[in-house]
Structure 1
Amino acid sequence: MKALKVMATINEEGQLTLDHPLTTDKNSRVEVIVLIPDDEAPDQISQAEVLADFRQAWQEAMTGQTIPLSQLWEGFEDG
């Protein structure tokens, strides 16, 4: 498995729009890890913090410490 780091925007419907197209195999399934800054503006987060967060998320993903996507939306459907 290889990792690609890309920036994206989340729209009002909760869908991701990538800033640039991916240059990889088309019609492939992918695993997505989304890193969302807390209350800080994105330019206030250091590259080291982003890298540390990504490494932790990557380690969790590679060791199976993941949550099914269906569980992520539990509780939001009623709000």
Structure 2
Amino acid sequence: MKAVKVMAMINDQGQLTLDHPLITDKNSRVEVIVLIPEQTDLNDKYQAEVLADFRQAWQEAMTGQTIPVAQLWEGIEDV
């Protein structure tokens, strides 16, 4: 048996919709194992990422590794 890892969404009817089609033999049966992350796992991961980004930004600000806001807008056309 071959394992293929793909991401999917569960719709309101509880059906899976894969992000990308599987490249394999068509019309074959498969075994599906669904791993649903705990809500706290997502929150903890998100908080850790935000904290890491903040620490990096703070370090850059404290060491003068910044650019003027006006420079951020250079080259961006009005939408």
What TM-score does the superposition give when structure 1 sets the normalisation length?
0.52
Q: How many residues align?
A: 45
Q: What CA RMSD, in Å, does the superposition of the two structures yield over aligned residues?
A: 2.2
* SS of alignment partner, residue 41 of structure 1: helix
| Structure 2: unaligned runs, 5 residues or longer | 47-79
Amino acid at match of 1:21: P
**C-alpha displacement at 1:43, in angstroms?**
9.0
Q: What does 1:14-53 align with in structure 2 at a 5 Å threshold?
A: 14-39=14-39, 40-41=41-42, 44=45
User: 1:38 and 1:16, CA in 2 relative to 1: closer, same or farther beyond 3 A?
Assistant: same
Which 4+ residue blocks in structure 1 deviate beyond 4 angstroms?
none
Amino acid at match of 1:44: K
Identity of aligned residues (%): 73
What TM-score does the superposition give when structure 2 sets the normalisation length?
0.52
Larger RCO: Structure 1 or Structure 2 (Cα < 8 Å, ≥ 6 residues apart)? Answer: 1
User: 1:42 and 1:33, CA in 2 relative to 1: closer, same or farther beyond 3 A?
Assistant: farther
| Structure 1: unaligned runs, 5 residues or longer | 46-79
